[in-house]
């Protein structure tokens, strides 16, 4: 049975678990039986009572995927989202949609737009499909179910996160492929 939450006691157990020989089962027991809010309290106490921060201790004493998982569990949720976006994001422009309308987007992107963005003569980026524009390729991400009623003669590319299996897309390669396919189709 799990003991009542006592951040000072947890702090001492974590400190002891990182000493040689390491007792990682105690560390695992604590971090997996505490909420994120409780882990933040443990970290605050640890950092106030020690010269080295708890995250630095984890960096020094743990390794591999286990270290990454432990560090992730000690991030506040919003900070962890920010960390993941920054780590995964190689693009410079963000089109705001339904999510990430916070100040934590500032600094991740060179430019943040709230509406459609024309990036070339024939390419329009938008959160939702823009209808009736036969002159361009509309790359959008809002149609998560793939049921948007597209207009005949218009070119759309749906990059909703679930449509792309939540994998970032290289826009340069994507545009080259799309225009190559359009060219091959037009001469074929």
**Residue-wise pLDDT tens digits, 61-111:** 999 889 988 998 998 887 776 666 666 555 566 666 655 555 556 666 667
The predicted pLDDT at position 127 comes to 81
* pLDDT above 50 for 1: no
Residues 67 and 125 in one domain: no
The predicted pLDDT at position 48 comes to 93
Least confident of 43-47, 53-57, 159-163: 159-163
Residues 119 and 175 in one domain: yes
More confident of the two residues 186 and 45: 45
Residue 96 placed within a domain: no
Residue 48 placed within a domain: yes
* Cα angle value 133/139/140 (rounded, 5°): 100
Residue 125 placed within a domain: yes
Q: What percent of the chain has pLDDT over 90?
A: 21
The predicted pLDDT at position 97 comes to 66
- Kindly report the pTM of this predicted structure: 0.48
The domain that holds 67 is classified in CATH as 1.10.220.10
More confident of the two residues 173 and 8: 8
Residues 182 and 119 in one domain: yes
Residue 132 placed within a domain: yes
The predicted pLDDT at position 152 comes to 65
Residue 172 placed within a domain: yes
pLDDT band per the 50, 70, 90 thresholds, residue 142: confident
Residues 125 and 182 in one domain: yes
pLDDT band per the 50, 70, 90 thresholds, residue 118: confident
* pLDDT above 70 for 123: yes
CA atoms within 13 A on the CB side of 103: 0
The predicted pLDDT at position 57 comes to 92
Please report, in angstroms and rounded to a whole number, the separation of the first and last CA atoms in the chain. Answer: 70
- Domain span at residue 12 reads 7-75
Residue 141 placed within a domain: yes
| 155: β partners | 137
Q: Which of 75, 105, 135 is the last residue of a domain?
A: 75
Asked if 132 and 123 count as a contact pair (C-beta separation under 8 A), the reply is: no
Average pLDDT of the residues in 116-124: 77
Count of CB atoms situated within 10 Å of the CB of 23: 15
Average pLDDT of the residues in 109-121: 74
Average pLDDT of the residues in 136-142: 80
Residues contacting 103, CB < 8 A, separation 6+: none
- How many structural domains are present in the chain? 2
Residues 119 and 66 in one domain: no
Residues contacting 127, CB < 8 A, separation 6+: 95, 96, 97, 98, 116, 140, 141, 142
């Amino acid at each position: 049975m799990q003991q009542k939450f006592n951040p000072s006691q947890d702090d001492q157990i974590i400190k002891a678990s990182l000493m040689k020989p390491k007792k990682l089962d105690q560390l695992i027991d604590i971090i997996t039986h505490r909420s994120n809010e409780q882990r933040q309290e443990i970290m605050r106490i640890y950092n106030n009572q020690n010269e080295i921060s708890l995250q630095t201790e984890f960096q020094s004493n743990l390794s591999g995927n286990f270290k990454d998982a432990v560090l992730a569990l000690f991030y506040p949720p919003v900070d962890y989202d920010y960390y993941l976006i920054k780590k995964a994001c190689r693009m410079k422009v963000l089109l705001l949609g339904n999510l990430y309308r916070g100040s934590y987007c500032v600094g991740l992107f060179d430019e943040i737009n709230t509406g459609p963005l024309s990036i070339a003569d024939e390419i329009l980026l938008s959160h939702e499909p823009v209808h009736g524009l036969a002159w361009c390729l509309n790359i959008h991400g809002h149609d998560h179910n793939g049921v948007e009623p597209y207009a005949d003669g218009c070119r759309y590319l749906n990059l909703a996160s679930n449509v792309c299996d939540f994998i970032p897309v290289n826009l340069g390669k994507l545009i080259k492929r799309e225009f190559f396919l359009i060219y091959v189709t037009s001469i074929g």
